[in-house]
Structure 1
Amino acid sequence: MIRLLVVDDSALMRKLLGGVFAAEGDFEVAFARDGEEALAEHARFHPDVVTLDVNMPSLDGLGCLDRIMLDRPTPVVMVSSLTAEGAEITLDAMERGAIDFVVKPGGALSLEMDRLGPLIVQKVRAAARARLRPTLRLAERVRALSGGSGGEPARRSQKPARLEAAKPKPKSATPGTVEGIVLVGTSTGGPPALDALLSRLPADFPWPVVVAQHMPGSFTGPLARRLDGLCALPVQEASRPMPLRSGNVYIGRGDADVTLARRPSGLVVQPVPAHADYLWHPSVDRLVMSAFDLVEPARLVGVLMTGMGRDGASAMTEMRALGGRTIAESEETAVVWGMPGELVRAGGASVVAPLEAIADALLDMVP
């Protein structure tokens, strides 16, 4: 049995989520109405996973998450609204240790829950199997256990010292002219993994980087802005067709797919309507396949990091067979070793590396 703690201030939401998981037959569910009650239930019930509402009275979702991660780290799935504020708070929660998030249903809750229930169950199951890093907020946990103040988590400045100067200008003299392309795929646990990878790339990194991160459309813009404040390379959401320029990072817009195409002026990165043949969006497989007809595989590098499922594994395996190079995140650091694990099992990984070593592996592959 999977022990699940559902935390939400809405009685209807608690009832609907309880019904969804009761129907699965292998969940034991406890409930809490706010953050303070959640902490008491967390200590009593010892759940395997927690779903945590963002906006609650008394102690809100972020405050409750902080206490859980300091007292007894447990996989947490945030339940967030689709608003811009909800996206920012959810990304903050993932930086603080949450595994994943689900979008809170709007409109007629009972009808929406019929549609979203399977996805919520899938994400909670993945979170229950997820691997929390032993070092996650370790310094804060030590301070709390020694009687120091847990307080607000230590946060990195949005302006690292290396970013005090202006962002580098695009290095391609001709828009769309590039020597090679890095294609990155992530899903569950992806935002912190992208931070760890992209923030380690230097300002003179010579190739463009295109990212397919499974995420709703209202979240990818805030994610790109957050990464732009943390990285030496310019980071932007590919919300419209854009010339592909060296030394730039493009985050595919959520609820759509992101592909490469050739225009008279050169290569572009563009959002396209989500294709029904692909389960997750933006699709990593579709992004990689779109590059094959435009760039020699030897000038492509694929990076597949944490995420459930197998999106990207097939296309990146083919990429390696055609002469491209690929990097898979190792099981020891992946929150969910689904996508990179499938790439490794298929023999499609040129290199398997822990998260903290992926940037160095990439730098070794890119001239």
Structure 2
Amino acid sequence: MISVLVVDDSAMMRRFLTQIFERAGDFKVRTARNGEVALELLGEASYDVVTLDINMPGMDGLTCLSHIMTETPCPVVMVSSLTEKGALATLEALELGAVDYIAKPGGTVSHNMQEVEEELLNKVRTAAAAKPRFRSLDIHPTPAEAAPQKASEDLGAGSEREAEGLILVGVSTGGPSSLETLLAGLSPQQQWPVLIAQHMPATFTGVLAQRLNGLCALPVMEVTKPTPLLAGRVYMAQGDKDIEVRRRAGRLMAVPQPQDAERPWHPSADRMVESALEVFAPQQLIGLLLTGMGDDGARAMQNLQAAGGRTLAESEESCVVYGMPRALVEAGGADQVLPIEAIPAQLKRWLLSSA
């Protein structure tokens, strides 16, 4: 049995969530009406997973999460609204160490949680086996503080050189933290742009791109329309869609596409890599598969490696969930397996050898 502590100030939401877990049959549930009560209960007993509402009176979800991660670390799944404000708070929670999140389909008090019942159960089961990792939010520069760094790199309007190659990144659970570490280690002078397929709703990918743009030296943007792929830039696929690499009117473009219903994960890393192989020679591509549950990207990156491209998987030691990288490693499709902190240096070595 998986022991779950449900923390929400709404009695109705506590009842909805409890009913979902009890119907599943493999959960033991206890509830808390606010952050203070949750911390008391965590001090008395251990739980496999905590589901934590973000918006609560008194001690809010982020404050409660920071106490959990420093005092009684355990896997936490945030429950948030699908608003821009909710998305920003959720990303901050992931930075603090939350394993994953569930977006309420109907606002703060959702009467239709059954719409996300399967997703909720899958994410909580996965979280029970995940490794929580605490990170203090105050270690990061604000967008205003990061602006001089960008200016000092003389980015200006950015390079207008077309991509000579492409770095393709597939990532899911635990992605925001890993992406920050990856991008912070890359130089704006690099020749190859980065295209990212992060499994997230559209409300979240736009906020994540803005956040990463403020924290990293590389310019980061969400791809909401056909966009030229230029050197030294980072492109994030829009959530709830897929992304393809195409050549249009002689230009290399990242092109949003409607979801392929036959693929379970979106934006699809497999589809992204497959499309890139139709445009670039394999030697012009580097595939990265980072933390996340499932196996999205493994098949396409295995094919990329077999064709002569280079591939890299994040190692288990730094993954929140060692699912997607594991699938690539077990298929024999990873040239390198490294913790996230070591990946930027390896990319630089590969890029220098390709110059």
Q: Specify the alignment match of 1:262 in structure 2.
A: 247
CA contact (8 A) 2:132 2:320 kept: yes
Alignment TM-score, normalising by the size of structure 1: 0.91
Q: Specify the alignment match of 2:297 in structure 1.
A: 312
CA contact (8 A) 1:32 1:38 kept: yes
Unaligned runs of 5+ in 1: 141-152
Q: Specify the alignment match of 2:105 in structure 1.
A: 105
Q: Specify the alignment match of 1:252 in structure 2.
A: 237
User: C-alpha displacement at 1:168, in angstroms?
Assistant: 4.7
* CA shift digits 1:63-88 (9 cap, x unpaired): 10011011011111111111110011
**Of 211-220 and 7-16, the range deviating more from structure 2:** 7-16
Q: Specify the alignment match of 2:168 in structure 1.
A: 183
CA contact (8 A) 2:105 2:115 kept: no
Q: Specify the alignment match of 1:143 in structure 2.
A: none
Separation in structure 2 between the aligned mates of residue 65 and residue 234 of structure 1, nearest angstrom: 30
Separation in structure 2 between the aligned mates of residue 103 and residue 283 of structure 1, nearest angstrom: 19
Describe how 1:109-188 pairs up with structure 2 within 5 A. 109-110=110-111, 112-133=112-133, 136-137=134-135, 153-158=137-142, 159-160=145-146, 162-165=149-152, 167-173=155-161, 177-188=162-173
CA contact (8 A) 1:201 1:359 kept: yes
User: C-alpha displacement at 1:128, in angstroms?
Assistant: 0.8
**Of 259-268 and 153-162, the range deviating more from structure 2:** 153-162
Q: Secondary structure at the match of 2:24?
A: coil
CA contact (8 A) 1:168 1:233 kept: no
* CA shift digits 1:275-306 (9 cap, x unpaired): 10111110100100111110001110000000
Q: Specify the alignment match of 2:190 in structure 1.
A: 205
Q: Specify the alignment match of 2:5 in structure 1.
A: 5
**Of 338-347 and 154-163, the range deviating more from structure 2:** 154-163
CA contact (8 A) 1:52 1:76 kept: yes
* CA shift digits 1:14-40 (9 cap, x unpaired): 111111111222211110111111111
CA contact (8 A) 1:6 1:14 kept: yes
User: C-alpha displacement at 1:164, in angstroms?
Assistant: 4.6
Separation in structure 2 between the aligned mates of residue 169 and residue 310 of structure 1, nearest angstrom: 37
CA contact (8 A) 2:285 2:309 kept: yes
* CA shift digits 1:114-151 (9 cap, x unpaired): 22100001011111111134xx34xx7xxxxxxxxxxx
Partner amino acid for 1:157? P
* CA shift digits 1:175-222 (9 cap, x unpaired): xx3210000011000000000000110121110100000000001111
Separation in structure 1 between the aligned mates of residue 10 and residue 243 of structure 2, nearest angstrom: 36
Separation in structure 2 between the aligned mates of residue 30 and residue 70 of structure 1, nearest angstrom: 22
Unaligned runs of 5+ in 2: none
Q: Secondary structure at the match of 2:271?
A: helix
Alignment TM-score, normalising by the size of structure 2: 0.94
